[in-house]
Amino acid sequence: MDTRWFRRFDEALPDAPRLICFPHAGGSASVYAPLARLLSGPLEVLAVQYPGRQDRRTEAPATSVTDLAARIAERLEAGGVTGERPYAFFGHSMGALVAYESARALQSRSAPAPARLFLSGRSAPGPRPDRHDRLHDDAAILAAVRALGGTDASVLDDPELVDMVMPALRADYGALASYAWRPGPALNAPLTALVGDSDPVVPVASVSGWARHTTGDDEVLVFAGGHFYLTERLHDVGAVVADRLRALTGGASGIQDSGPAGSDGGRTDTGTGGPQAARGPRTAAAAGEPGGRHQRTAGRALA
C-alpha cells in the first residue's frame, strides 16, 4: 500500500475490512485521526492524503476532482486495497465527491466495489457546479471557510498560516468549481448519505438525490449540526458506520457500549442529536429497525 497516499492512525486486527476516508477541501488525512481511533480494530481505517498539503506540500495539488479520483483509484488498485479484503469509503464535503468519483473509476476498471459508500455533507452531484463552490478569489474562499466553521479561527487570523494552507484551499475550490457530473452507470454499491440539519450550504433535500447514483440500497441520515456536524457527533457517526458494516466485522464495532445504530444500546439516540432519517415519498422503514427510526430509500439506476 502506498503510504504517501494512505495514512493509518491506529492498529487493526489482521485482515480487518478497510474504511478509506476522503478529506474535505483544504483538509488532510489527519482530520480522520479521531474517527480512526474510534473505529480501528475491527476496521482498518485509512485516510487519503491529497497532494499539496502537510508532508506533501511540495507537490502540486490536484486541480480536478475526477483526475484526483482517478489517481486515488489507481493507487488503491495497485496497492491491492480493493482486492485483498472488503472495503468501504467515507468522504466528507469535497471528500464525498472524490470518494464517489473514485468508486466510479474503480467500477470502470471492473474492480471489486466498495461494500458501502458513506457520503457526508455534500449535495448530490449534477450537470453544473454547485453555486457554493464558485468562489472567485482568495478572500471569498477564506470567508467561506470561516463561515463553515471547520477551521480554527486562529489559523485564519494568522497570515503565515494562511499562506501555508492557501495553495491547497485554492486548488481544491478550483477543482470543485470546475466539477460537473458526467452521465454514466450508477454505482453497484449501497450508499449512506449524512448531513447536518443546519448545514448552510447543503440543504437536507439536496442530499436525497444521491439515491439516483446507486443501484443498491440507499438512505439519508440527518444529524443535529452544521456543515461540520461530525466533529460534535463523532460517536454517533462512528456508530452508524460500525452498524452498516457489521456484516463485514462479525458484529464487532470497536465502540464501547455500542449497539446497532438507533437501538437502545447504541449512542445514536434521536433525542440527543443522533441521526434521524430524512423522510420523503420514497422512504420506507428499514428492515430490523422498529418504527423506522432510520429509514432507507430504495435505490434506482440512473436513466
Neighbours of 232 (CB within 10 A): 15
Catalytic residue among 213, 227, 235, 294: 227
Catalytic residue among 28, 40, 92, 93: 93
Catalytic residue at 154?
no
- From the list 189, 226, 205, the residue with the least C-alpha distance to 280 is 205
CA atoms lying within 13 Å on the CB side of residue 49: 18
* Residue partners of 58: CB distance under 8 A and separation at least 6: none
Query: Residue 128 corresponds to which amino acid?
Result: R
276 DSSP assignment: E
Catalytic residue at 235?
no
Q: Confirm if 47 and 2 have CB atoms less than 8 A apart.
A: no
Query: Torsions phi, psi of 223, nearest 5?
Result: -110, 155
Residues that are catalytic: 93, 227
